Amino acid sequence: MSNDNPDAPLEEGRHTTLKISKRWLELVVYFVLLAATAFYAREALNLPNYGSSGSVGASGFPLLVAMLISASLVLLVIVNLLNKPSSESELFIEIGRPAQVLLTVIVMIALVLALERVGLIIAITLLAFLLMKLGGETRYSLLLTLPPLLSLGIYVVFVLVLGVYFD
């Protein structure tokens, strides 16, 4: 590709690669997800209970989801501990551009924390723009059109079609 075109993506440069044990990375992710599920279940227990003690209250469905997720994660942990890798390629995971991955996670967390202040539509637009930019997209025609169109599409589906308002 020619670098004369401003919409052309940049060529991949030299970057560092982080090599992590696949088994330990999976276990860490599973336990982080289990902790998040426990928090979710605790918050679901704080929801009000309607009607008699025998009926399912507002926390019924979230607790069911938390139980299913927890059971699935426990099974994944067991499979991970019992499973032996079948080849050398399954021992390690290589993460190219670890700084870029970390920066992307920081951007996502910052936008979730700022969601109430900036509003859903602006937050989705910013998130899409920044994730595309961090992912290496350099074509400004895409960077300036896709994020607002994504936000508009989400607004149309939820507010105009489904009648779910973001208050």
| Domain range list for the chain | 16-96, 97-167
155 CB neighbour count, 10 Å cutoff: 15
Two tokens, residue 152: 């508009």
Q: Which amino acid is at 134?
A: L
When the pLDDT of each residue in the chain is averaged and rounded to a whole number, the result is: 81
86-115 mean pLDDT: 78
CA 148/CA 154 separation, integer angstroms = 10
Q: In this model, does residue 139 exceed pLDDT 60?
A: yes
pLDDT of 8 reads: 45
What is the phi-psi region of residue 166: left when phi exceeds 0, alpha when psi lies from -120 to 50, beta otherwise? beta
The reported pTM is 0.52
3-state class (DSSP) for residue 137: coil
CA 133/CA 47 separation, integer angstroms = 39
Give kind and range of the element (H or E) at residue 92.
strand 92-96
Q: Which amino acid is at 126?
A: L
Q: In this model, does residue 10 exceed pLDDT 50?
A: no
Please tell me the least confidently modeled range out of 111-115, 125-129, 130-134, 163-167.
163-167
Q: In this model, does residue 20 exceed pLDDT 70?
A: yes
149-163 mean pLDDT: 88
- pLDDT level of residue 115 (50, 70, 90 thresholds): confident
Two tokens, residue 100: 């870029």
Q: In this model, does residue 2 exceed pLDDT 50?
A: no
- For helices 140-155 and 120-134, angle between their N-to-C axes, nearest 10 degrees: 150
3-state class (DSSP) for residue 93: strand
Q: In this model, does residue 108 exceed pLDDT 70?
A: yes
pLDDT tens, position by position, 23-56: 888 899 999 999 999 999 998 888 776 656 656 6
CA 111/CA 26 separation, integer angstroms = 26
Q: For the stretch 66-82, what's the b/e string if a residue is b when 16 or more beta carbons lie within 10 angstroms of its beta carbon?
A: beebbeebeebeeeeee
